[in-house]
Structure 1
Amino acid sequence: MIITLLSDFGSFYPAQMKGVILSRLQGKSGNIAGKITFVDIAHDIPAQDVRAGAFALLSTVRFFPPGTIHIAVVDPGVGTARRSLVVESGGQMFAGPDNGLLIPAARSLGRPVAYEITPHPGASSTFHGRDVFAPAAALIAAGQPPASLGPRVRPVDLDFGEAKKTAHGLEATIIYVDRFGNLILNLQRLPAQDMMLKGVRLKRARTYAEGRRIEPLITLGSHGFAEIAINQGNASEAFCLKAQDRIELEEI
């Protein structure tokens, strides 16, 4: 049984979530606790950046087998009226807040079905990852169906949108900036030619190394989205751009 974790928590809070899961499964028939494999997708998601977390989850889940349980927590609304969810899609399960975080990934696997989790009275109002989502994941790992955790609901959606054709080229949104400073766009195909951004030519390339050192380029990343990069450089810094900025790519 694989359980993944994704959060903006940093280093030590995820260990508490794992401890809760293992404690709740300890002694269950079939030694379930001993059969759990934890995979940490990321815990360095920018603080409270739901869209960044959603992109990281979307980019990862297709590499996991059916039966995987994903716990994802980027949750600026923790403790408020926002709902807690378990979502089932494509044979995989997701537990997390109802703020759109889970939905792009779930939708990429199939047709998501969401159920609301009712937090127990003793749950912390500031750490639902430990007190709500980890216990829900333990129940699912023990064989409890998601539908038993609460009523079916329609979840909050999150959509990265699509790049739009303009008179001069394409208008796109930066949906994620990775640690290399690459600007990942809501564009799932590579333009047919070199483009211009802020008056700078972007070389259409298959690999980063096709560009000269410090040459800007546009390529199709391993995640399936077009990205603007600088060979051995940082495109975010060079173009003074960040996630959620809208840009215009001009045809040459």
Structure 2
Amino acid sequence: MSGYPKRPIITLLSDFGSLYPAEMKGAILSRIGDAILVDIAHDVPPQDVRAGAFALMAAAGHFPKGTVHLAVVDPGVGTDRLGIVVASGGHLFVGPDNGLLIPAAKSAGEPAAWMIGPSFFEGAAPTFAGRDVFAPAAAVLASGGDPGSFGPAVDPAGLDFGRARILDEGIEAEVIYVDGFGNVVLNSAAIPWDRVELMGRRLRRARTYAEAGADEPLITLGSHGFAEIAVNGGSAKDLFGLAPGDRILLERGDCSE
């Protein structure tokens, strides 16, 4: 198809660490040997579906249309949770039906989802659907397979990051992701004030991390489009003791100071 990659591209995201992704890659390459395999991340915090969903959403849109995104963060592996394929905006997604794929699919366009039928699970190890179900499904999709051929259409499990609330005294927001630098990503797409405080500390409003002084906390709009609390040369996670799921109040600073 015009405008699509000449060789199939499959991205991979999981909470598997360093060993198990190789088995998924082997399952793909044994079926489609010329695939370009790109790792998004395999260090998603174990079983943290929301963190995996954010990482997938942040990365997927930078790939060309026609890319297949294989994502597995799957606390329900071996249960009756569905496996699904999702088509949206020229991208294809495959993984468990636990909301992991949905923010990325919605950011790409209008998602349509299909169940991966029971026949696809025959002979699969009950603890490794990533290798035995989702990787082969990704190979089928990358080979031009019709996502509707996997099974009936379904309404997939949803997941969203909610929305920050702008109040008179500040912004009530939720931590949705903490990266490897300790930068804290919030579910706010705006920073409406120049002076913001958190837990009694002023956050410098900055365009880049280096605009703040050494070890100075700051707030910026990250490359992913969400507000991000950081510390120049340090860790906002450690400074403020924050973790995904925490709710915080960014207090509006006194502009007269």
- Using structure 2 for the length normalisation, give the TM-score: 0.93
Distance 1:186 1:53 in 2: 15
After TM superposition, list the pairs within 5 Å mapping 1:6-45 onto structure 2.
6-25=13-32, 33-34=33-34, 36-45=35-44
How far apart are 1:121 and its partner, in Å?
2.0
* Deviation sequence 1:152-211 (CA, Å, 0-9, x none): 000000010110022311100000011111110001122321201111111111111111
Q: Secondary structure at the match of 2:160?
A: coil
Q: Which residue of 1 aligns with 2:121?
A: 120
Residue 30 of structure 2 aligns to a residue whose secondary structure is helix
The residue number in structure 2 matching 1:222 is: 223
- Distance in 2 (CA, whole Å) between partners of 1:184 and 1:161 is 13
Q: SS of 1:244's equivalent? A: coil
> Please, which runs of 5 or more residues in structure 1 have no aligned partner?
26-32
Q: Where do residues 1-252 of structure 1 align in structure 2 (5 Å cutoff)?
A: 1-25=8-32, 33-34=33-34, 36-118=35-117, 119-252=120-253
Rounded Cα–Cα distance in structure 2 between residues aligned with 1:173 and 1:102: 20
Give 1:94 deviation, angstroms. 0.4
Write the letter of the residue equivalent to 2:185: I
SS at match of 1:71: strand
Counterpart AA for 1:47: P
Query: Which segments of 5 or more consecutive residues in structure 2 lack a partner in the other structure?
Result: 1-7
Q: Secondary structure at the match of 2:174?
A: strand
CA distance in 2 between counterparts of 1:136 and 1:242 reads: 34
Structure 1 match to 2:5: none
Residue 77 of structure 2 aligns to a residue whose secondary structure is coil
Quote the Cα distance in structure 2 between the aligned partners of 1:147 and 1:92: 14
What secondary structure sits across from 2:204 in the alignment? strand
2-structure distance, mates of 1:235, 1:20 = 39
SS of the residue corresponding to residue 173 of structure 1 reads strand
Which SS does the other structure have where 2:31 is aligned?
A: helix
Shifted more, 137-146 versus 231-240: the winner is 137-146
> Any conservation in 2 of the 1:191–1:204 contact (CA below 8 Å)?
no
Q: Contact conserved, 1:208 with 1:231, CA < 8 A, in 2?
A: yes
Q: Distance in 2 between matches of 1:226 and 1:82?
A: 33
Q: For the residues of structure 1 that align with 2:22 and 2:211, how far apart are their CA atoms? A: 42
Q: Which amino acid aligns with 1:212?
A: G
Between the aligned partners of 1:179 and 1:142, the Cα distance in structure 2 is 34
Aligned equivalents of 2:210, 2:139: Cα separation in 1: 45
1:25-84 deviation per Cα after TM superposition (whole angstroms, max 9, x unaligned):
3xxxxxxx22x1000001011100000000000000111001100100000000111100
**What CA RMSD, in Å, does the superposition of the two structures yield over aligned residues?**
0.9
Matched with 2:4 is none
Q: Is the 8 A contact 2:177 2:186 kept in 1?
A: yes
TM-score normalized by structure 1? 0.95
Specify the code of the residue in structure 2 equivalent to 1:150: G
Partner of 1:30: none
- SS of residue paired to 1:48: coil
Which amino acid is the alignment partner of residue 210 of structure 1? E
The residue that corresponds to 1:29 in the other structure is none
SS in 1 for 2:105: helix
Q: Any idea what the Cα deviations from partners look like across 1:91-118, whole Å, max 9, x if unmatched?
A: 0100000000000000000001000002
User: Aligned partner of 2:138: which letter?
Assistant: A
Q: Secondary structure at the match of 1:133?
A: helix
